[in-house]
Structure 1
Amino acid sequence: MLGDIISNAFELHTLVLQRTDHRLHGYLMMHSPLVMTSILLTYVLLSVYVGPRFMANRKPFSLKTTMVIYNFSMVALNAYIVHQFLVWGWGTTYTWRCDLCDFSDSPQALGMVRACWIFFFSKFIELLDTLFFVLRKKHSQITFLHVFHHSFMPWTWWWGMTLTPVGGMGTFHAMVNAVVHVIMYFYYGLSAAGPRFQKYLWWKKYMTAIQLTQFILISVHISQYYVMEKCDYQVPMWIHLIWMYGTLFFILFANFWVQAYIKGKRLPVVKSHENGVTQAIFKELENGTMPYLSNGIVLLSKVKEI
């Protein structure tokens, strides 16, 4: 029985390698699903079990300088990803409607392959978000949704890149996500720099709206597939998954917006000081980030002064 399972696993692994887009050969972590899956499983184990127990009897690390460097480095990386998506399709030859995958080895097609891989690899760098939470003992921010999103997205992107042709209208959500991450990490970078930059963060209340807009754009764009008279997109299953992904996270964001900003159920109450500025806000700014649920789900809590 066990031998049959192992044999079938090897056959499946061989089939996956045979179907992998040949243009991805040579890129890190693209030669087998075992490497990236092992990394993500280790990430989940460290985030949920090992990390919190390791830090249980230790003082939290400050990591202020590290957080500033990390966040602004992620701004630069995501800005570069956006640039690559624009150069190799979305800002040049794509119609923003029924854009098909390019199977060729043309410079443009290979450029889009590289852009997709950089986006994929950036999701592994973003696993450091959780590591910083662990080291700073911000365990309340390591929610199920946070860990699930950080691990599930790179895992699904690996399969999407290897088993389907890279490129076309299915990459729009990646470009939009990178744009949002430029804004998000820029905010976190200023926050990590300390209280003196608090005056530049007046736009924090719009971050959730930006997230909602992201998923609206993704869902609207991909929904074109269902109303076009003809669109011979080569992998319709990828279209369905993107639509479900965008819709699901829009619902989650909308629910948070209602609970936090309309019903006010998630608004913490803290006492204000004589200068009108709460220590709670300064503490969050000094620690490096405002709370957020997952990669892209920002919890920007409004403080009630009493």
Structure 2
Amino acid sequence: MVFDSLTSGAVLLYEEWLQQADPRTEEWPLMSSPFPQTVIIVAYIYFVTTLGPRLMENQKPFDLKNAMIVYNFSIVGFSLYMIYEYLMSGWANGYSYRCDLVDYSNNPLAVRMAWTCWLYYFSKFIEMLDTIFFVLRKKTSQVTFLHVFHHSIMPFTWWFGVKFSAGGMGTFHAMLNCCVHVIMYSYYAVCAMGPAYQKYLWWKKYMTIIQLVQFVMVTVHIGQYVFIEDCPWKFPVFLYIIGLYGLIFLVLFLNFWYHAYTKGKRLPKVEQNSKALQNANGAYHANGVAKGAANGISNDKTNGVTNGFYHSNTVHTKEE
């Protein structure tokens, strides 16, 4: 009886809550209910953590060089398109960069902004291929908890964003993230093209700086909400979530920066001996980029990279 009562109460609360949703997005793919995306996310987690590694256990790694080149450049093109749509539907066409509220009307620009938010949401499912490529290439060491958690939580949280707050100041971080993706996935695409193109990747060392700048901009922009006296956002919880994400990953990347660069520069002997250590037991990567796993952000061949707020994608080295 108690269970039935709790279940009925939860159903009523869920139905009442959905009545506050944006009616414009109701008929869009995956938007009628959170359950279809939940099935996809659960299937993704099961494949990359259990089924995939089990199937690949006695198989040779797949050669996905061409597929990865096409995939990465496709993400670059898609990101450029979303940047354009975000600009044209608000950020370069009427938004003040302060208290920009969600326009729930059927105004063409408002609908265009909502649709762009849906495109960004859908892109999170496409980016799950990052992890699937890891599994098929037997790079399971790069399928970390933080990586899988990020790729799982981003589409889940963005469903609520599109369902209830598709527009306004809460979309600034998405547009900025698309800008970062253009840079990051361009890097990955060139990496996938092979050692002959390594000479064009001289800007690798600036990518962590790009991450830090992104998180600072996101945190400062969304933090305005706390100090603006009259900003009647309908669902302010989303702004607080964005702000919290920005702060958390700003701290994580600052920590990475300290361990990989500042602290590293104070230990020149480690730098000098890194190659000897690698030759001795393969335990240390010779390029000196990684100084151990800095809170899961970096390992010997993995650099923390953003995708939404954190992306543990591979920074390919010459050896790969």
**TM-score of the two chains, using structure 1 as the length reference:** 0.86
Contact 1:253 1:297 in 2 (8 A): no
Match of 2:81 in 1: 80
The verdict on how the C-alpha distance between 1:301 and 1:34 changes in structure 2, with shifts beyond 3 A counting, is: closer
Count of aligned pairs: 289
Match of 1:92 in 2: 93
The yes-or-no answer on 1:32 pairing with 2:33 is: yes
Match of 2:274 in 1: 269
The verdict on how the C-alpha distance between 1:33 and 1:72 changes in structure 2, with shifts beyond 3 A counting, is: same
The yes-or-no answer on 1:170 pairing with 2:170 is: yes
Match of 1:253 in 2: 253
Cα distance in 1 for residues equivalent to 2:11 and 2:226 = 37
Percent identity between the aligned chains? 48
Cα distance in 2 for residues equivalent to 1:138 and 1:127 = 15
Contact 1:145 1:293 in 2 (8 A): no
Residue 161 of structure 1 and its aligned partner are, at CA, apart by 2.0
Residue 58 of structure 1 and its aligned partner are, at CA, apart by 1.2
Match of 1:44 in 2: 45
Q: Which moved more, 1:226-235 or 1:124-133?
A: 226-235
The verdict on how the C-alpha distance between 1:187 and 1:169 changes in structure 2, with shifts beyond 3 A counting, is: same
The verdict on how the C-alpha distance between 1:62 and 1:28 changes in structure 2, with shifts beyond 3 A counting, is: same
The correspondence of residues 100-249 of structure 1 with structure 2, limited to 5 A, is 100-162=101-163, 164-249=164-249
Contact 2:38 2:156 in 1 (8 A): yes
| CA deviation map 1:220-245 (0-9, x unaligned) | 00111122243222322222111111
Residue 174 of structure 1 and its aligned partner are, at CA, apart by 0.7
Cα distance in 2 for residues equivalent to 1:173 and 1:74 = 17
The verdict on how the C-alpha distance between 1:24 and 1:299 changes in structure 2, with shifts beyond 3 A counting, is: closer
Cα distance in 2 for residues equivalent to 1:41 and 1:19 = 27
For residue 291 of structure 1, the aligned residue among 287, 296, 302 is 302
Contact 2:192 2:316 in 1 (8 A): no
| CA deviation map 1:177-216 (0-9, x unaligned) | 1111111111000001111110110001111111111110
State the secondary structure of the residue aligned to 1:40: helix
State the secondary structure of the residue aligned to 1:145: helix
Cα distance in 2 for residues equivalent to 1:208 and 1:299 = 13
Match of 1:284 in 2: none
Match of 1:286 in 2: none
State the secondary structure of the residue aligned to 1:263: helix
What is the alpha-carbon root mean square deviation over aligned residues? 2.7
Residue 59 of structure 1 and its aligned partner are, at CA, apart by 1.0
Residue 261 of structure 1 and its aligned partner are, at CA, apart by 1.7
Contact 2:25 2:31 in 1 (8 A): yes
- Give the residue type in structure 1 aligned to 2:74: S
Contact 1:146 1:293 in 2 (8 A): no
The verdict on how the C-alpha distance between 1:232 and 1:12 changes in structure 2, with shifts beyond 3 A counting, is: closer
The verdict on how the C-alpha distance between 1:47 and 1:12 changes in structure 2, with shifts beyond 3 A counting, is: farther
Cα distance in 1 for residues equivalent to 2:107 and 2:186 = 35
State the secondary structure of the residue aligned to 1:269: helix
| CA deviation map 1:244-291 (0-9, x unaligned) | 110001111111111112223998934799xxxxx988xxxxxxxx63
State the secondary structure of the residue aligned to 1:19: coil
Q: Which moved more, 1:1-10 or 1:255-264?
A: 1-10
- Give the residue type in structure 1 aligned to 2:58: N
The verdict on how the C-alpha distance between 1:230 and 1:80 changes in structure 2, with shifts beyond 3 A counting, is: same
- Give the residue type in structure 2 aligned to 1:133: F
Match of 2:291 in 1: none
**TM-score of the two chains, using structure 2 as the length reference:** 0.83
Contact 2:101 2:167 in 1 (8 A): yes
Contact 2:274 2:286 in 1 (8 A): no
Residue 13 of structure 1 and its aligned partner are, at CA, apart by 4.3
Q: In structure 2, list runs of 5 or more residues that go unmatched.
A: 280-284, 288-300
Name which structure has the greater RCO, CA cutoff 8 Å, separation 6+.
Answer: 1
- Give the residue type in structure 2 aligned to 1:50: L
State the secondary structure of the residue aligned to 1:29: coil
